[in-house]
Structure 1
Amino acid sequence: MEPFILASSSPRRQEILKMLKIPFRVIIPNIDETLTSAIEKEQIPELLAQEKVSAVIRSLPVGQEIQWILGADTVILFNDKIIGKPENHDQAVEYLSALQGNTHTVLTAIVLYNGREKKTISRLCKTNVTFAPMTNEEIEWYVETGEWHGAAGGYRIQSLASCFISKIEGSYSGAVGLPIFELYDILKQEGYSLLE
């Protein structure tokens, strides 16, 4: 299989590519993730994933052959507001206090650059996640684990946060940060076979 460049530092995304046996190397894109209110909220993850891919393309030597670059971005949409990654312990507590006992939407966009055809293809995956009611003690305990670092909404669905998640509607891998069905669908469309 042809190797990918993964435009992400996410260990979860790397684990999923390894599981799929897709060879890859990581180039961490340097982008500004400041969001403008002029963009539709559901378009934000796709825009950021596209920015990551574009930043990697710009960082490569001129004339270098590029086969495949994969970018992804995940945001939380709750009460018509985007919740990103908490900046500190107190913000993580604030986010989880808002999410507990409620349902929110995890939006993950993937953007694949096909170097042969010099084009990008994207998909958006929506997953509804419901937290059971949590006590202040449970929220504090979870935040103390440190899992909130670098995680949209201040939690990792594939880890200890699953103690408090009562329902998932949609793609579990999408909520983790790389929707496997959508990725497979794009790869098939672009003639990249995992069946080798």
Structure 2
Amino acid sequence: MTNARSMETSPLLVLASASPRRQALLAQIGITPDRVDPADLDETPHPRELPRPYALRLAIDKARLVAARTPEAALVIGADTVVAVGRRILPKAEDRATARRCLNLLSGRRHHVLTAVAVEPSAAWTAGRAATRVVESHVTFSRLTDYQIEALLDAGDWEGKAGGYALQGHAAAFIRQIGGSASGVIGLPLFETAQLLRGQKGAWVR
């Protein structure tokens, strides 16, 4: 699949995320954003906010914030990934203790991963239209021993990851089953993102 966008006829494509995983996933389908502009929002869930609306809210807010500060004709992609056990939203692991708590909770259990994608045109691109998708997948871990959890923590690829693990990292050795979108679990569901881009006049994806 190749990037069919023409710089003479189409707006810029802006990714509202500094995530190298999302950039790599876009590159997998032949898309390189013209600009990476992280939104840097407060991602604290609202009281009693459920996982699906939380992921969608953040994706939309990220795309809208960056679109509002982009003066050129542009389409902005915002995304957010949420790991949930039932109605409980697991945090992004910023320290080892948080990652350990997440892995202990996920051990031997099935959980859900929701990734929301939003596209938002800047004010200068009147032909664009806002659109969203939410993709829900499920992931089942084998039961982890204390030793295995410590080994995963030592590997370090949990840092900054929702739920304290990365599908593309060492945790893959303990994931028994995945249902849904593997790329969505990593951070950007490629089929749905491509569909959103095909629906725009910019034609970034054939």
TM-score of the superposition, structure 1-length normalised? 0.92
CA-atom RMSD, angstroms? 1.5
Q: 1:46 aligns with which of 34, 56, 61?
A: 56
- The farther-off stretch of 83-92 and 168-177 is 83-92
Q: 1:20 aligns with which of 29, 42, 59?
A: 29
1:134 and 2:144 are equivalent in the alignment: yes
- 5 Å-filtered alignment, 1:115-194, equals 115-117=125-127, 119-191=129-201, 192-194=203-205
Q: Deviations over 1:16-42 (max 9, x none)?
A: 111222231210112111110253331
Aligned to 2:44: 34
| Alignment partners' CA distance in 2, 1:92 and 1:119 | 38
Q: 1:99 aligns with which of 81, 93, 106?
A: 106
TM-score of the superposition, structure 2-length normalised? 0.87
- The answer to whether the 8 Å contact 2:67/2:120 transfers is no
Deviation at 1:183? Answer: 0.8
Deviation at 1:58? Answer: 3.3
Letter in 1 for 2:22: R
Question: What number of residue pairs does the alignment pair up?
Answer: 192
| Alignment partners' CA distance in 2, 1:193 and 1:65 | 17
SS in 2 for 1:105: strand
Q: Deviations over 1:90-119 (max 9, x none)?
A: 111110011010000000000011333353
- The answer to whether the 8 Å contact 2:26/2:190 transfers is no
Q: 2:80 aligns with which of 73, 83, 91?
A: 73
Structure 1 gaps, min length 5:
none
Deviation at 1:123? Answer: 0.2
Letter in 2 for 1:81: R
| Alignment partners' CA distance in 1, 2:170 and 2:17 | 23
1:110 and 2:127 are equivalent in the alignment: no
